[in-house]
Amino acid sequence: MTTISHSAKADVPIAAAFAHVADYRTVPQWFFGITRFIPKGDKDYGLDAVFDAELKIGPKALTSVVQITEFEADRLITLRSIAGFRTSSRWEFGTAEDGSTVLSVEFSYDLPGGLAGKALGKIVEPFAVQAVKATDAALRRQLESAG
């Protein structure tokens, strides 16, 4: 499994940052490449909520069903795929000395083996680094303009 880690600071209170990230409706607005993130079933927030997600990489779309496996208000959200493209993400929230929010993300993905996996890797790997940087910029811009 390949993992990319990133940490950044946003000049908003931790509760505002957490609320924005935890709201499934905002995800396609700030998560680079996500074109669909909709609840499956009645639960759309918190532990065990499940979402149907689509990530567009150029002309290629990767689909996944993800479940929130860890959820602690104003501290932690972890999502893991339960079907489709194998991925996980862990979002940790902390407070800096100046009162701003430190947001750390660890994004992991697993490609299939064989020739298909190698071909997909040539597309996904450069995209993943770009996506983390673009996601960070969009998320901080949205948080700070709303806060």
Domain ranges across the chain? 2-146
How do residues 5-58 score in pLDDT, each as one tens digit?
999 999 999 999 999 999 999 999 999 999 999 999 999 999 999 999 999 877
Whole-prediction pTM value?
0.87
Instruction: Give the distance, in angstroms, between the CA of residue 119 and the centroid of all CA atoms in the same chain.
Output: 23
Residue 50 pairs in a beta bridge with 67
Fold annotation for 2-146: Alpha-D-Glucose-1,6-Bisphosphate; Chain A, domain 4 (3.30.530)
Max Cα–Cα distance, the chain, nearest Å = 49
Instruction: List CB contacts of 8: < 8 A, sequence separation 6 or more.
Output: 102, 103, 136, 140
